[in-house]
Amino acid sequence: MFNNFYKKNNNNDFFLIKPKTIYTFLANPFEQLSLISRLNGQLGYFPHLLAEDTTFIDYLSIRENMLVILSLAPNQTKRKLNLVVSEVLEELKIPDYLANQPFSALPVTLSIQLQLKLTVLCNRKVILVDHWLSHESASNKQDWLFLFREFARTTSCSFIILTSDVRLLPIENLLRMDSVAYSTKKIS
Amino acid sequence: MPIAKRAYRHLQSHPYFSILMIGFYLVYFIFAFIFALLIKQFSDSYVQLTKIIASLDSQQVSFNSRQFKILESITTHYIVNYRYIFFSIILVGTLIVLMIQLWLSQARKKEYQSYLLLGERVYKLTAQLIMEQLLLINCVLLLIFACYSLFKIPIMNQITQIEATSLQSKLEDYSSIQSSQEGTISSDFESKNFTRFNVNPFLKGEFINNKFSQTNTLIGCLILIMLNLYSAMIIGIPNYIVLSLRKSKLS
Query: Given pLDDT bands bounded at 50, 70 and 90, which one contains residue A8?
Result: very low
Give the gap in angstroms from C-alpha B71 to the nearest C-alpha of chain A: 59
Count of positions (residues) in chain B: 251
| Residue A30 in contact with partner chain B when CB distance is under 8 A | no
pLDDT at residue A5 in the model: 37
Distance from CA of B97 to the nearest CA of A (A): 23
Contact state of A45 with B119 under an 8 Å Cβ cutoff: yes
Q: What is the pLDDT along chain B (251 residues), one digit of tens a residue?
A: 788 889 999 999 899 999 999 999 999 999 999 999 888 888 888 888 888 888 777 776 656 667 777 888 888 888 899 999 999 999 999 999 999 999 999 988 888 888 888 888 899 999 999 999 999 999 999 999 899 888 888 888 888 888 888 877 777 777 666 655 544 444 444 434 444 445 554 444 445 444 445 567 788 889 899 999 999 999 999 999 999 998 888 77
Contact of B115 with chain A, judged by CB distance below 8 Å, is answered with yes
- Chain A closest CA to B112's CA: distance in Å? 9
Mean pLDDT to the nearest integer, A46-60? 79
Q: Does any CB of chain B come closer than 8 Å to the CB of residue A71?
A: yes
Helix axes B3-13, B122-150, angle to 10 degrees: 70
**Cα–Cα separations (whole angstroms), residue A140 to A105, A108, A136, A188, B46:** 20, 12, 6, 20, 81
- Burial class (CB within 10 angstroms; exposed 0-12, middle 13-18, buried 19+) of B215: exposed
User: Hey, are the CB atoms on A46 and B115 less than 8 Å from each other?
Assistant: no
Read off the pTM.
0.77
A29 at interface of B, judged by CB pairs closer than 8 A: no
A26 beta partners: A163
